[in-house]
Amino acid sequence: MKFVIIGGDAAGMSAASRAKRNKPEMDVIVFEQTQDVSYSACGMPYNIADEKRPIDDLIVRQANVFREKQHIDLRTGHRVESIDIKEKTVHGTNQDGKSFSCHYDSLLIATGASPIIPELPGFDLPGVFPLKSLENGRLIKKYIQPQTQKAVIIGMGYIALEMAEAFHERGIEVSMIKPRPQLLPWLSPSLAEIVNQELINHQINLYPGYPIKGIEASNHQLCVKSENLSLSCDIVLTAIGVQPNSQIADKAGIVLGASNAIKVNESLKTSESDIFAAGDCADVYHLVSKKRAWLPLALYANRGGWTAADNVIGKQTKLSGIVGTSVFKVFQLEVARTGLNSSEAKKAGFDPVEVVIQSRSRAHAHPGACPIHISMIGDKQTGLLLGVQMIGKEGVAHRINAPAIALHTKMTVDHFANSDLAYAPPFSPVWDPMLTAANQLIKKMT
């Protein structure tokens, strides 16, 4: 049996490793268009912040390890360009420009996502970079020199905020610009204002609500142009989001789903029974909204690769779905979320009630306590917990896992308020901030 995988990052290599481990006799072939496989993309901003750390520190496993120790037929520098469903064959071109074809019995599409690059003048200029692949990270790190003094970041999402800190750590003045007026539109406004102030406190120049007209180059400098605003700099980072690499599936006639990601079922099967999709190119089932969604998350990509591989080898496995749990760091702040915000809850048909509270990361008499700000949302009709957002300088990143589990188990706010959460003065008040928020929300819902 021949299992062919398109894409050699998180989902693709997780699937290849699992299939080969559980069925060593299987012929597993992976086509990866770059030379990099199995690396920590999420670690790139922190690596770039440290000029002494080699970017290749982020490689989790070298390509040769997969080939020599796991006996996976990993072909780097091979770009698959089309899928012939009737003939069960993939076609593409290798790094030398030579065409290749390969038959499959089962196929996994794990092509990931690509950065959105506006079709505007200047986005192809030297010194203008996205940050999605390890090669992007290499180029950015190589481009930064002692004379690099100013950076402009287009966008204000996760990667943009993490890279604002990275540039700042390198002594580079940072300006951030985006067309929409809100810093983080998915975040509760009072919590978003805390992030906004944290950026201002670290001398980050913010320009929300400025549509981009293009980028110009002159006198060895770049200039990001907007109406009534020009930002000169030495380097530009485009970080306005990503989109699923689903074109190859669409071209083959495979059904697409949410946000044009490849539609899959609980077994990661596409509309073609012998073709699977996993990772950032595939859609997901949101357990709270009960709708298909597109949320490119690292853990789900790895888990999706495992699930696809299990089904390919005959072990029937299903992936229940996600609740959209994520966390990121911006300077001293930890910012986390799980579930739905108020507008998402309304779109999903709920009657959302939100409460925003401030508590402490430690007991009141314990030194070092920091404020924790929490937005918690419940459904007035059913009492169900719908979502939580949190910001603080400590105690946020792991605390978000409690409401994430509550959402997976479909707990009501009342049940969550009665959860037995751990207490010790260095880690929490007697009433954990999560419990305080839940109790306040119960009052508002009744």
The DSSP line for 195-254 is HHHHHHHTT-EEEET--EEEEEEETTEEEEEETTEEEEESEEEE-S-EEE--HHHHHHTP
Strand spans (E) along 302-397:
326-330, 333-339, 352-360, 371-379, 385-392
**Domain stops at, among 238, 259, 274:** 238
CA-wise closest residue to 102 among 31, 201, 47: 31
- Return the ∠ at Cα 301 (arms to 186 and 166), rounded to 5°: 60
Residues 68 and 35 in one domain: yes
- Report the distance separating Cα 30 and Cα 205, nearest Å: 44
With beta carbons less than 8 A apart as the criterion, state whether 277 and 110 touch.
yes
Query: Does residue 45 sit in helix, strand or coil?
Result: helix
- Report the distance separating Cα 278 and Cα 34, nearest Å: 19
Look at residue 146 in the predicted model and tell me its pLDDT. Answer: 93
Is 422 a member of any domain? yes
Is 158 a member of any domain? yes
| Domain coverage including residue 101 | 2-40+60-114+242-312
Question: Measured in Å, how far apart are the chain's first and last C-alpha atoms?
Answer: 59
- What is the reported pTM? 0.94
Residues 128 and 226 in one domain: yes
Residues 102 and 157 in one domain: no
- Report the distance separating Cα 265 and Cα 270, nearest Å: 7
Look at residue 220 in the predicted model and tell me its pLDDT. Answer: 87
Residues 227 and 255 in one domain: no
Residues 172 and 248 in one domain: no
Alpha helices in 69-220 (DSSP H): 134-143, 158-169, 189-201
Residues 202 and 229 in one domain: yes
Is 212 a member of any domain? yes
Residues 333 and 438 in one domain: yes
**Domain stops at, among 261, 277, 312:** 312
Total number of domains in the chain: 3
Is 380 a member of any domain? yes
Residues 295 and 354 in one domain: no
Q: What is the CA radius of gyration of the chain?
A: 23
With beta carbons less than 8 A apart as the criterion, state whether 125 and 218 touch.
no
Is 261 a member of any domain? yes
Is 188 a member of any domain? yes
Residues 398 and 297 in one domain: no
pLDDT digits (tens, 9 = 90+) for 207-252: 999 999 999 998 889 999 999 899 999 999 999 999 999 999 999 9
Is 24 a member of any domain? yes
Residues 152 and 234 in one domain: yes
- Report the distance separating Cα 342 and Cα 353, nearest Å: 8
- Report the distance separating Cα 297 and Cα 324, nearest Å: 8
**Domain stops at, among 277, 312, 347:** 312
Tell me which residues of the chain have a pLDDT lower than 50: none
Residues 133 and 221 in one domain: yes
- CATH for 288: 3.50.50.60
Residues 230 and 247 in one domain: no
Residues with catalytic roles? 42
